[in-house]
Amino acid sequence: MFDWLVIGGGIHGCTISNFLIQHGIVQNEKLCIVDPHSEPMARWKRNTEKISMSFLRSPSVHHIDVHPFSLQQFGKISNLHNQFYGMYKRPSLQLFNDHCDQIIYDTNLKKSWYQGIVGKVRKGKDGWDVTLENGNMIQSKNVVIAISINEQLYIPDWAKNLASASPQRVRHIFDDNLKDLKEIKPPIAIIGGGITAAHLAIKMAGEFPGEVTLIKRHPFRIHDFDSDPGWLGLKRQGPFRMVKNYTSRREQIVKARLKGSVPTDVLRKVKGLVDKQKLRVVDGEVNSYTNDQEYVSLHVSSESYQVQHVLLATGFIPTRPGNWVEQLIEEENLTCANCGYPIVNRDLQWCPHLYVMGPLAELEIGPIARNISGARQAAEKIVSSL
């Protein structure tokens, strides 16, 4: 019997695990982190590496360690203090990842790592019975569900049709089956208007100058962060938590999230590439396509763009993650809002000894819940309630 079992070993799962260990609440032997990957934070590393994101969007105080200035200190000690960008000291991806690796090493998180996929969680006699897809069962007194929506890829209908006719022609950039971008040959269309699309366009235009077209439905939306910084603290979270109606809370989250936005520095790079004619940017929506042996032509308004490959940077479907959660809700009679997401208490407990973080904690934490800052706040709430 473990004391704590964390489902998902991404940024959120590693943050709560680290907080639990560093606050002396649990020791490695009594902590179990279940995740399908062989290493912590594998999905984060894969996704960010794929688009060659050089700096994080979030500031240096957002990371997986307990002390807010831990990452800045780490930058100084490791002589990488020049790897912060701009007034918010946004860390380079390399520095951020090195810092995470250091924390994971210091807290020996790999000793608590269990490679597997959770298929079922059920209340047992003394705690929770967590059954993995391979049939193994693990028992724990407390469970934290730290899964994300990052596996729920959003694919527009026309792209689904194209994929069923020519699967190699169109890929979502975060599709696990797309292992290597070397498979992608120019000319290329990138679909999407947010930060992922922008990073990807910068990367691909570097490799194939003049052969990349970025197609987006709306003009660039310029915002440094993906929600107003007021949401990081009580300024906006305070009134949000006073709202008793969870449909209104969901509406506020949707409105507050600056979806499909890009920070100024990333946009500047995109514009520089456009000026040098290394990248073409088109505003419009793909209404249809024609496909032959060699090319696919994407029809956008009255224009057509002939490409070999289409890369989708169209984000994720925001529905409640984890199919297996449905059965848990039914068996434990857990409360959900109309949007299907958990209604939890202030300590992020869905019921005694069952905690959520990440998107599942959205209705309590607000629009920052999925981000690194949301992971920190969730971990703080959980440990301070114990």
Candidates 296, 372, 378, 382: give the one binding ligand FAD (CB under 6 A).
372
Candidates 48, 142, 252, 261: give the one binding ligand FAD (CB under 6 A).
48
For ligand FAD, the nearest residue by Cβ is 10
Q: Are 126 and 1 in contact (CB under 8 A)?
A: yes
- Does 100 engage in binding with ligand FAD (CB under 6 A)? no
Give how many residues touch ligand FAD by CB under 6 A. Answer: 35
Candidates 57, 216, 280, 381: give the one binding ligand FAD (CB under 6 A).
57
- Does 46 engage in binding with ligand FAD (CB under 6 A)? no
Residue 45, judged by CB atoms within 10 A of its CB (0-12, 13-18, 19+), counts as middle
Q: Are 262 and 220 in contact (CB under 8 A)?
A: yes
Closest CB 320 distance from ligand FAD, rounded Å: 12
Candidates 358, 362, 365, 381: give the one binding ligand FAD (CB under 6 A).
358
Judged by CB under 6 A, the stretch of 215-223, 229-237, 335-343, 365-373 that binds ligand FAD is 365-373
List Cα–Cα distances, 250 to 240, 253, 322, 364, in angstroms: 10, 5, 19, 10
- Window 171-210: contact mask with ligand FAD (x via CB under 6 A): -------------------------x--------------
Q: How far apart are CA 169 and CA 308, in angstroms?
A: 7
Peptide bond into 263 cis (omega under 30): no
| Residue partners of 115: CB distance under 8 A and separation at least 6 | 34, 35, 36, 37, 38
Other residues' Cβ atoms within 10 Å of the Cβ of residue 353: 15
Q: Which helix (H) or strand (E) holds 190?
A: strand 188-191
- Does 71 engage in binding with ligand FAD (CB under 6 A)? no
Q: How far apart are CA 284 and CA 256, in angstroms?
A: 24
Closest CB 275 distance from ligand FAD, rounded Å: 25
Q: Are 154 and 274 in contact (CB under 8 A)?
A: no
Closest CB 312 distance from ligand FAD, rounded Å: 13
Judged by CB under 6 A, the stretch of 153-161, 249-257, 346-354, 367-375 that binds ligand FAD is 367-375
Binding site for ligand FAD (CB under 6 A): 7-13, 34-37, 42-44, 47-48, 51, 53, 56-58, 62, 117-118, 146-148, 150, 196, 322, 358, 370-373
